Structure 1
Amino acid sequence: MTAMPASASRWRRLQSDTDAVHRALDARIMAGDPFRDRDRYGRFVLMQLRFFRDIDPLYAEPGLCAVFSDLAERRRLPLAEQDVRDLGLDLPPSEPPLFGGAIDLPAAMGWLYVAEGADLGSPFLLKETVKLGFDESFGARHMRGHPQGRGLHWHRFTNALDAAALSPEEEPRVAIGAHSAFARVNALFEAAGLTD
């Protein structure tokens, strides 16, 4: 794939820069067949929960809230926690936070880009959860779409991402953050036991 021109929007450049790793992760997850049965789906939800725990501090970070005015309402950790309970599973013990102390805002924007992009792709996954008896009100709450539609919700996010004022030194850290987020999801997928 050719690189996006420098004049392209930040999110389009980010999309291009992470396309290969994103496609590889999607293929790996679907090869893991997380919707084969309730047990595998439970492992998938726990994987999602761990990722949402990782990024949860970002939703209260003042610098990020200044960029994304609706950031707090995009938080999905409570929904994932309820999904775990719906499935009759125990919440896993807390782990040391990935984002302790001062948060690198440009890198955090990359992490949020990955989280929001995953939400945009949730309708496909929701169709699979219905076959297992779960939906946006039970067991798959964390995949719930925004009342005004996922597309509009995504465009609000990408517009804010594009409008964020970053220095030339900060700009590359957005992509570094996105790659780190994809690597973290890969590691969580591996730990979830869905590779068999």
Structure 2
Amino acid sequence: MNAPASPAPEPGRCQRLKAASRREHDSVDTLVLGVRPFESRERYALFLQVQHRFHGSLQALYGDVQLNRTLPGLAALSRFEAVQADLRDLGLPVPGVPAPVQLSAPAEALGWLYCSEGSNLGAAFLFRQTQQLGLGAQRGARHLAPHPDGRALQWRQFVGLIDALVLSEEQERQAVDGALAAFEFYRSSVRDIFG
């Protein structure tokens, strides 16, 4: 006799965010690969400008006191200083901190942070590409380098914190709105900077 099948577990919040933003995520991936950011150091310099704009606009979220209470250790995850160091490594000007993202509701921050931290997983591929340009974790590609404990562990810890939050249905929608806005912001930055 076969035991009855257990119901499939309810997907976690990050899985739901992934499902809700899959098309936007794929669109950004296609766009980034299409602008060939690792074809030359000149094109990589443009990519760094995109990264500076995106990560710089999130500085206020990573430094937010309430978000750091909700998501302990958040401030240490920001890659903005590493992006600035990468720009300096290549002898490029370091612009001022971009204007912070504007949220319509506090829970949108979760979607923005989900996109930013999720991009660190995809950065493994990008990091390998920088090595063809003679760059790496000590020079020029610091912001794409893996966390000392590894990308997967850092991501699992972040997902655990996000998934454990108790949110209303409206806040769940706001988190999705934030993720969609983050992908659109990044896509718009790529088009603006690469032309």
Amino acid corresponding to residue 31 of structure 1 in structure 2: G
Question: Which residue number corresponds to residue 83 of structure 1?
Answer: 86
Distance verdict in 2 for CA 1:96–1:126, change over 3 Å: closer
Which 5+ residue runs of structure 1 have no aligned equivalent? none
Q: CA deviation at 1:94?
A: 4.3
> Percent of aligned positions with the same letter in both sequences?
34
CA distance in 2, matches of 1:12, 1:165: 15
> What pairs up with 1:9-158 in 2 under 5 angstroms?
9-99=12-102, 104-158=105-159
Q: Separation in 1 of the partners of 2:137 and 2:15?
A: 29
> Is contact 1:64-1:105 (8 Å) kept?
no
**Contact 2:61–2:109 (Cα < 8 Å) also in 1:** yes
Query: Residues 18-44 of structure 1: CA distance to partner in whole angstroms, max 9, x if unpaired?
Result: 111101110111011000000000000
Instruction: Report the CA distance shift for 1:108/1:163 in structure 2 as closer, same or farther (over 3 A).
Output: same
State how far apart, in whole Å, the 1-side matches of 2:144 and 2:19 are: 24
- Residue 10 of structure 1 deviates from its aligned partner by 0.6
In structure 2, do the counterparts of structure 1 residues 41 and 160 end up closer, same or farther at CA, with 3 Å as the change threshold?
same
Runs of 4+ in 1 over 2 A off after TM superposition: 92-99, 102-105
The answer to whether the 8 A contact 1:63-1:105 is kept is no
Normalised by the length of structure 2, the TM-score is 0.91
Specify the code of the residue in structure 1 equivalent to 2:161.
A
SS at match of 2:46: helix
Q: CA deviation at 1:96?
A: 3.2
User: For residues 177 and 121 of structure 1, what CA distance do their matches in structure 2 show?
Assistant: 19
**Cα offset for 1:7?**
2.8
Q: Where does structure 2 lack aligned partners over 5 or more consecutive residues?
A: 1-7
TM-score under structure 1 length normalisation:
0.91
Aligned residues: 188
Structure showing greater radius of gyration is: 2
